[in-house]
Amino acid sequence: MSSTKIKLFSGIALFLTAMGSVYAADTLLALMQKLKSEPASRVAYQETRTVKLMAELWHGSGYLYSLPPDLMIREQLRPQRLLMGIKGNKSFYFDPKNDVRHQGDLDGDNELNVPLAVFKALVNADEALLRSLFQIEFSSGPQAWTMNLKPKHKAGSVSNIIVSGLSGQQANKISVMQEDGDISEFNLQKESGGGKSNDTINKLYQELLGE
């Protein structure tokens, strides 16, 4: 093959690669714009954990609350009540039953922070947060879109997170993969009720702080 043809094919390949990158970025941008245009102050979730050392699946459920621009709280109601949240760059944990509290930095080596950061980025449409913590592989098709997130820094045993949703709609599933093969899957469902949820999240935040 002549050098001219090689250069031509190389140029075409580079062009197609660039176009693919632009398309992915534009699609991710469109998704974030969609999230901003239709904010969800409360999202119900169902969690299923597949753990190698457990014969049966673990099930949990609760709510995700958001108060833009920087507050997100996860309230687990079943099998026992737990509170986890993010305010700015700080993460919080509270176990009411055992009266145990933890506070740390969002970018610390704590695998509990990883799904919290994803929840916060999705419910608050915070693309900058996603890009600061994860390498993003975004793809979309006629029926659905998928986002594969790999932590840029060590995050406990979390290897990657897959977020997906129907085309043109918000995320409805998040799968958290562990290095040992364990998987946590969250099925999400948006709920209405903005004002009431804002009051609720403020009360939950005070509870997280112990005030």
pLDDT at 122: 82
| Domain assignment of residue 9, given as a range | 3-209
Q: Quick check: 169 pLDDT over 90?
A: no
Can you tell me the distance from the alpha carbon of 113 to that of 92, in angstroms, rounded to the nearest whole number?
9
pTM of the predicted protein model: 0.79
Alpha helices in the chain (DSSP H): 3-37, 113-123, 127-133, 194-209
For the chain, the domain total comes to: 1
CA 75, 76, 80, 83 torsion-angle sign = negative
Give me the pLDDT at residue 12, please. Answer: 34
- How confident is the model over 179-209, as pLDDT tens digits? 888 999 999 998 765 545 688 899 999 999 9
Which of 106, 109, 103, 117 is closest to 161 using CA atoms?
117
CATH of the domain at 58: 2.50.20.10
The helix/strand/coil state of 161 is strand
